Amino acid sequence: MPRKQLVPSYRRQRMPRGNPDRAFVELGGRRAYLGDYGCESSREAYRRAVGEWMAGNTKPADEGPTIVEMTVAFMDHAESYYQRPGGRRTCEMECFKSATTILNRMYATTSAAAFGPRGLRTVRDAMVKTGWSRGYVNRQANRIRRMFKWAASVEMVPATVFHALQTVDGLRRGRGDARETEPVQPVTDAIVEQTTPHLTPTLAGMVRVHRLIGCRPGEICVMRKCDVDTTGKVWTYAMADHKTAYHGHVRVIHIGPRAQDVLRPFLMRAEPTAFVFAPAESERERREAVHAARTTPMSCGNKPGSIRVRNPKREAGDKWTAQTYGRAIAYACERAGVPHWSPNQLRHTFASEIRKLHGLEAAQVLLGHARADVTQIYAERDHAKAREVAALVG
């Protein structure tokens, strides 16, 4: 008796967080992707694909990997590639995830070899509609090109696909609907001082040190006691893991007397390998401040610790990130009623001050830039000097 032909089942592939799960069917040993799992269009595609396959019992034409197959393979590669020397993932991974989310939403089941300039323009238009800025849209489009470049290097797609995507020019300022962003400006010391009373002592100290040494937000977040050399008139903070470490650059941050006075108490209480500015300590300070401001008698209401959650969803970590640091400052600005400012503006304030007092080269060295043209983005030009010269010669 001939064996009954089995009907391939409608199956589900779970995707990384943030991406919808995909439906697929195995036909002749090859996966055919159908779209979002559970939706009517993917079920219709399933019925059509299975019907055609069973009618002829033929293997579908091999068009190579689909877009979603290519992006999953690339993200597996990126997990190990985009790492700092200590094994910590870079923020590039999150950027790739957001880029692939839109790409897969529109072209998941399309053959990667069939994706071309028109498709990239369509994805880019969708990015603009999400509200992303022009610069970020261009960077995300470049990340999609890099994915196809990698796919070509491992022979998942023909190299001509990548070369075709390179023909799509970036969005130009004033020539489209993409949102423009304002350049980052320095923040005044007056606004910073109005903000710090609304921060915990740990965060306020972190902001003051950051303002005085002009490092990147991520660099102040990962400062450890063992990384700070306090032998000498000027202390040094040597980082093994930093933004440009993969270029072979050495990053040394110099800490002068004013910053030392602020930093010293935090170094004294920190363990040698612990982060100097700890979120857990900041949270303890916040709770103490809330308790000190309590007006309900202790004989009434909740007792300290009586409503503690046994297994909280989130706990204060061992270090800040640039994102959590920025959010803490944003909350403080709101409470203080001052214009919002971000941690990176402290670096711009520092750069402008150093350039005005000591010149561009000094600002370049203290900021840790390899090229002076990068420093000029951070350090505002001294327009007062220009006005003085114009008054004499104009």
What domains lie within the chain, and their CATH numbers? 10-55 (no CATH), 67-167 (1.10.150), 192-293+317-377 (1.10.443.10)
CA distance 50 to 94: 37
Q: Report the distance separating Cα 119 and Cα 102, nearest Å.
A: 12
Render pLDDT for 275-285 as a digit per residue (tens, 0 to 9): 999 898 888 88
For the chain, the straight-line distance linking the first and the last C-alpha, in angstroms and rounded, comes to: 103
Residue type present at position 301 = G
Tell me: the pLDDT tens digits for 181-201?
888 888 999 999 999 999 999
| C-alpha separations of 137 from 97, 119, 141, 239 in Å | 14, 15, 6, 32
Averaged pLDDT of the chain: 81
pLDDT digits (tens, 9 = 90+) for 234-281: 888 887 654 554 444 567 888 888 999 999 999 988 788 889 998 988
pLDDT at 82: 80
DSSP sequence for 287-321: HHHHHHT--S-TTSSPPTTTT--SS-S----SS--
Q: pLDDT per residue over 306-357, tens digit each?
A: 666 666 666 667 788 888 999 999 999 999 999 999 999 998 888 888 777 7
User: Could you report the per-residue pLDDT of 57-103, keeping only the tens digit for each?
Assistant: 554 555 678 899 999 999 988 888 887 666 667 778 888 999 999 99
8 A C-beta contact, residue 155 and residue 113? no
- Residue pair 347/217 in contact (Cβ under 8 Å)? The answer is yes
State the pLDDT at residue 346.
92
Q: Treating both helix axes as pointing N-terminal to C-terminal, what angle do 201-213 and 322-336 enclose, rounded to 10 degrees? A: 110
Which among 367, 352, 92 has a CA at the least distance from the CA of 216? 367
Distance from C-alpha of 200 to C-alpha of 319, rounded to nearest angstrom: 15
* Spatial distance between the Cα atoms of 203 and 283, rounded to a whole number of angstroms: 10
What's the full length of the chain, in residues? 394
Among candidates 157, 58, 178, 40, which has minimal Cα distance to 110? 157
Residues 6+ apart with CB under 8 A from 46: 10, 23, 25, 34
The pLDDT tens digits for 16-26 are 777 788 888 88
Question: What global pTM score does this model have?
Answer: 0.65
Instruction: Give me 316's structure tokens.
Output: 């204060």
Residue 34 CA to residue 57 CA, distance in Å, equals 19
Q: What is the DSSP track for 108-158?
A: TTSBGGG--HHHHHHHHHHHHHTT-BHHHHHHHHHHHHHHHHHHHHTTSS-
| pLDDT at residue 1, rounded to an integer | 45
